[in-house]
Homo-oligomer: A and B are copies of this chain.
């Protein structure tokens, strides 16, 4: 096992109607002048935003607003948020929304207390040394940003999607009410599920041997997703299934299922170029890329893929030829993704084979390699995109 630090200080406030306590938690964590950050009109239309504001009112907390976050959040809105924070002496950022809203808020939180350009944090030109406190009211189980210190933002002018991370960006509290996710369209629910599973797989495939506890915790989350996702696709109002998925989404990404091992994260990087270029949902892109990446790297450690197949997808172990089992696991994963309504190849996603050179170029590996499980070159990445072009469920 690798040495590690695990630090997840966020207070998770989980369950029915808990958003009505938001004001109490903002106060508990020191917020007196709040920027409420949200996305499209759905938080407004559903009345959620009003309930959150009412809870702030009842604690007599000042707030101002910045809506309009889009999926794959843009740097332009982050700049706007930073400006508001400085003008209004904001001391707490409250996100009402999903991963995009939270990621955007984290950019604002770090940028507001930084003299330079916040984009420096996303291009490794500077390290985050302070940030405004952030709280969240989550509306979709997917990104895990409510329990992580990570943030992904897209630069509007270049379409480049880049990430940063710091323990300082971990939310002080996150309100998780599964009821809020019951109105999500099936496709968005499925995209969230793919994202959650990908967060686990990026940690599961490792060259660090004998981290049984982390392996088993990874498998716990994956088994839960395989059981619960089809239930919510069939029955969107199923609170229990929604609740399991929502908590699984947080556990999948606060790194409790990742400690003690070298992680990979190539699939995320390879996908980011797709959602950056086509503005498709991140989860949909992952459904296309993740199994294709698995096929490409499988030979690196057949037994690890066989373990996934047996423990996660319930495949029978082929002791004479483990590769058959390993392949069966990947096939089962892709079939699962397709069964919940996700694309599994370029055409279904709306991507084009002829863009592969541009996608590879945008990834920016050049002559280098990247990845914790298998080191990939630009040529390898191109091959993974090509597998994804032709993939079938």
Contacts and interface: CB of A to CB of B under 8 A. Distances in A.
Nearest to A14: B4
- What is the count of identical protomers in the complex? 2
Which of A4, A6, A248, A260 has the most chain B CB atoms closer than 10 A to its own CB?
A: A6
A223 B9 CA distance: 27
Contact of A210 (B214, B244, B260): B244
A220 interface: yes
Interface residues on A, range: 35 or more
B15 A6 contact: no
A18 interface: yes
B228 A224 contact: no
A173 to B, nearest CB: 9
Nearest to A170: B9
Contacts of A3: 14-16, 18
Nearest to A2: B15
Interface in A13-45: 13-16, 18
B9 A4 contact: no
B7 A12 contact: yes
Given A9-B9, A14-B260, A220-B220, A213 B4 contact: no
A216 interface: yes
Q: Quick one: which of A1, A213, A214, A219 has the most chain B CB within 10 A?
A: A213
A216 B212 contact: no
A68 B178 CA distance: 49
Given A5-B12, A12-B6, A14-B5, A223 B227 contact: no
A221 B227 contact: no
Given A7-B12, A219-B220, A251-B217, A212 B244 contact: yes
Interface of A: 1-16, 18, 178, 209-214, 216-217, 219-221, 223-224, 227-228, 239-241, 243-244, 247-248, 251, 256, 259-260
A-B pairs with lowest CB-CB distance, top 10: A3-B15, A216-B220, A9-B9, A210-B240, A1-B243, A6-B12, A220-B220, A7-B11, A213-B224, A217-B220
